[in-house]
Amino acid sequence: MTHGQPQPPAYRTSDEQARLEAGLIDMFEQRITFNTVLGLKVLSVKPGDVRGRITMRPELVGHYTYGRLHGGVISATLDAMGGLGLMVAIAERHPADNTMQVMQRFSRMGTIDLRIDYLRQGLGQHFVASSEVMRLGGRVGSVQMRLVNDEGTLIATGAGAYMIS
């Protein structure tokens, strides 16, 4: 290249990308202990396809008569998936960062606004939450989330804003 032209960004190797994905899954399933309490299992951390799953169990019931999923579990699951979606988007924005550098960025993240719309009763054997980053600014990221049950019925939606720097 000639002097003065910007250099194209370096991209992670496939091995480093696999380490990053494994690191994100470990962080969200094991290190964030509240996610462990929820039983959150990450299904995908691919750009454009960020999903997680929780399995219904008695500890997550909010209405004992009907066996419905607790609203706080729904909210916490969608909040966690919003954060995970942002981590994937941040990693994509910084393709030259290694796994440790991307993970360090997580330490500066925090939820600053969260709205959950409960659309139907939380009934099902398991639930899948997904997130889509709507805007990734320099300081704040905006995400929309969805929760469906095992039959694909939309249970709740969410919108979150997160401090990312």
Give the pLDDT confidence of 52-98 residue by residue, as tens digits: 999 999 999 998 899 999 999 999 999 999 999 999 999 999 998 98
Is residue 74 within 8 A of residue 122, CB to CB? The reply is: yes
pLDDT at 105: 85
Alpha-carbon dihedral angle through residues 89, 159, 137, 50, given to the nearest 10 degrees: 0
pLDDT at 124: 97
Please name the residues in contact with 107: beta carbons below 8 A apart, sequence gap of 6 or more. none
Q: Where are the domains of the chain?
A: 14-163
- Site of tokens 């500890």: 59
CATH superfamily, domain at 14-163: Hotdog Thioesterase (3.10.129.10)
pLDDT at 9: 60
Beta strands in 94-153 (DSSP E): 110-118, 126-136, 140-149
Ranges of residues in the chain whose predicted pLDDT is under 50: none
pLDDT at 132: 98
86-115 core/surface letters (b: 16 or more CB in 10 A; e: else) = bbbbbbeeeeebebeebbebbeebeeeebe
